[in-house]
């Protein structure tokens, strides 16, 4: 069966002062059913732009290339009323579509229905003048052939599923009356209302306190487990990746520089940027105080991408070849890739 999401050589350039600048270059990734893929990297590395390109939410100044293959339920065979459990998705009723070329109307149908998104700041995606109940109902009414009354009771069910206490009351409240953690739960309720195959969460817990983050991560884990939803989890926090993800893709300066199973990448990291990230964070469970090992310098601006390896100016292992030649993503081991000349077989 095809992957739920199969992104092939995705590139995004932004037109700035008449020039096209590369924000995302040649990104390829796949997500299987029920799998959680982490997309990790520092700010400005292209994580959000990648997710916005996949969902076609980028502005007109963006030039997008590549393929985004999405396998979802065949619209012709989709059950109008969702079953309560994980949706039966067998090879028979799945259809693969290329999202960059489907019609706008079809894309609107897919968004919020088969692919849902949640963002760091729920306040920007919730409408301040509508009550919580109507915001969830609206999503249901938009995508499903049900009555407002059914939509209302399904909305209430969703609030219960995401662990909101006093759901009847919350249905009648406005977003600003809720705490940050509650709003993020409401966002998840809206995102999951139509039982999507793919959930894209862009830094969903970055603005929350750790105790609330723990609640939300627990909730998202439960959702992927119980509904078989695939999750693209964007984060800058390696701890969140270790806790949540099956596989991880590390982004640097618009490119994936390392990709593999979480275990492989954490215990057998090959790319100097990945290694650098791990050494730069304080070890929470260390008893002795070791000095942190920073990565010197800064992430390059998209207007000044280095020619060879984009990490070369900051890399402690830089060689002549790195400055001159741009490295491919080399296969290190089955399913583990690294974009580094030192990862070429025999040189590691």
Partner 1 sequence: MASVLLEVEELKKYFPSGGGFLERSTGSVRAVDGISLKVYEGETLGIVGESGCGKSTLGRSILRLIEPTSGRVTFHGTDILKLRKSAMRDMRKEMQIVFQDPYASLNPRYTISQTLMEPMEIHQLYNHASRKQRVQSILERVGLDPSYASRFPHEFSGGQRQRIGIARALVLNPKLIILDEPVAALDVSVQSQVINLLEDLQADFGLTYIFVAHDLSVVKHISNRVLVMYLGKMAELASSDDLFFRPLHPYTRALLSAVPIPNPRVKRERIILSGDIPSPVNPPSGCVFHTRCPIAKDVCRQQVPEWRELRREHFVACHFAEDVDVETNSLPLGRR
Residues that bind ligand ADP in the complex, under the rule CB under 6 A: 14, 16, 23, 41, 43-49, 59, 61, 302
Q: In this structure, are residues 280 and 295 in contact, taking their beta carbons and an 8 Å threshold?
A: yes
Residues numbered 194 to 233 that lie near partner 1 (CB under 8 A) are 209-215, 217-218
Least distance CB 62 / ligand ADP (angstroms): 7
Residues 53, 55, 60, 66, CA torsion sign? positive
Q: Measure Cα distances from 341 to 206, 254, 261, 268 in Å.
A: 33, 18, 21, 16
Select 47 or 197, whichever has its Cβ closest to ligand ADP. Answer: 47
DSSP letters for 201-225: EESTTTTS-HHHHHHHHHHHHHHHH
**And the tokens for 3?**
């992957």
Residue 302 touches which of Mg ion, partner 1, ligand ADP, none (Cβ within 5-8 Å per kind): ligand ADP
Q: Which is nearer to partner 1, 285 or 345 (CB)?
A: 285
334 binds, among ligand ADP, partner 1, Mg ion, none (CB under 5 to 8 A by kind): none
- In the region spanning residues 296 to 315, those forming contacts with partner 1, defined by CB under 8 A, are 296, 298-299
Least distance to partner 1 from the beta carbon of 207, Å? 9
- Residue 158 vs 277, nearer CB to partner 1: 277
If the CB atoms of residues 34 and 180 are measured against partner 1, the closer one turns out to be 180
Options 48, 55, 71, 144; binder of Mg ion; rule CB under 5 A? 48
Q: Is 228 within 8 Å of 1 (Cβ atoms)?
A: no
CB of 47 to ligand ADP, least distance (A): 3
- Residue among 122, 132, 134, 126 at smallest CA distance from 170: 132
Contact (Cβ atoms closer than 8 angstroms) between residue 101 and residue 65: no
Tell me: does residue 257 bind partner 1 (CB under 8 A): no
Q: What's the min distance (Å) between Cβ of 38 and ligand ADP?
A: 13
Which is closer to Mg ion, CB of 158 or CB of 256?
256
- Name the residue among 242, 218, 246 with its Cα closest to residue 232: 246
Residue 14 binding: pick among ligand ADP, partner 1, Mg ion, none (C-beta 5-8 Å cut-off by kind):
ligand ADP
The residues, any chain, with a CB within 8 Å of residue 224's CB and separated by 6 or more, are: 34, 36, 199, 230, 231
Helical H runs in 252-342? 262-267, 272-280, 320-324
- The entry of Mg ion, ligand ADP, partner 1, none that residue 292 binds, CB within 5 to 8 Å by partner kind: partner 1
Q: Are 37 and 248 in contact (CB under 8 A)?
A: yes
| H/E stretch holding 36 | strand 36-40
Q: Which positions lie near partner 1, rule CB under 8 A? A: 42-43, 165, 177, 179, 181-182, 209-215, 217-218, 236-243, 262-263, 266-267, 276-278, 280-285, 287, 289, 291-296, 298-299
Q: Which positions lie near Mg ion, rule CB under 5 A? A: 48
């Amino acid at each position: 069966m095809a992957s739920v999401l199969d992104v092939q050589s995705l590139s995004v350039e932004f037109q700035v002062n008449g020039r096209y600048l590369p924000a995302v270059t040649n990104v390829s990734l796949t997500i299987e059913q029920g799998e959680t893929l982490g997309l990790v990297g520092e700010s400005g590395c292209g994580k959000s732009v990648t997710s916005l390109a996949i969902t076609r939410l980028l502005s007109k100044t963006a030039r997008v290339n590549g393929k985004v293959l999405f396998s979802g339920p065949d619209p012709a065979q989709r059950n109008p009323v969702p079953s309560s459990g994980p949706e039966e998705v067998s090879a028979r009723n799945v259809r693969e579509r290329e999202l960059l070329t489907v019609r706008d109307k079809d894309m609107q149908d897919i968004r919020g229905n088969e692919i849902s998104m949640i963002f760091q700041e729920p306040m920007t995606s919730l409408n301040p003048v509508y009550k919580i109940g109507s915001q969830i109902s609206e999503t249901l009414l938009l995508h499903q052939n049900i009555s407002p009354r059914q939509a209302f009771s399904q909305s209430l069910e969703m609030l219960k599923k995401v662990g909101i206490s006093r759901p009847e009351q919350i249905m009648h409240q406005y977003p600003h009356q809720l705490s940050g953690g509650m709003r993020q739960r409401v966002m998840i309720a809206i995102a999951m209302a139509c039982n999507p195959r793919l959930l894209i969460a862009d830094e969903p817990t970055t603005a929350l306190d750790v105790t609330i983050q723990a609640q939300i991560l627990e909730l998202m884990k439960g959702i992927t487990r119980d509904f078989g939803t695939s999750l693209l989890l964007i984060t800058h926090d390696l701890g969140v990746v270790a806790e949540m993800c099956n596989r991880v893709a590390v982004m640097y300066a618009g490119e994936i520089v390392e990709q593999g199973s979480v275990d492989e990448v954490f215990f057998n990291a090959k790319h100097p940027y990945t290694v650098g990230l791990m050494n730069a964070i304080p070890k929470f469970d260390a008893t002795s105080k070791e000095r942190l090992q920073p990565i010197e310098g800064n992430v390059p601006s998209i207007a000044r991408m280095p020619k060879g390896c984009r990490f070369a100016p900051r890399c402690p292992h830089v060689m002549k070849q790195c400055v001159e030649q741009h490295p491919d993503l080399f296969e290190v081991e089955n399913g583990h890739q690294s974009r580094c000349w030192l990862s070429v077989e025999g040189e590691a």
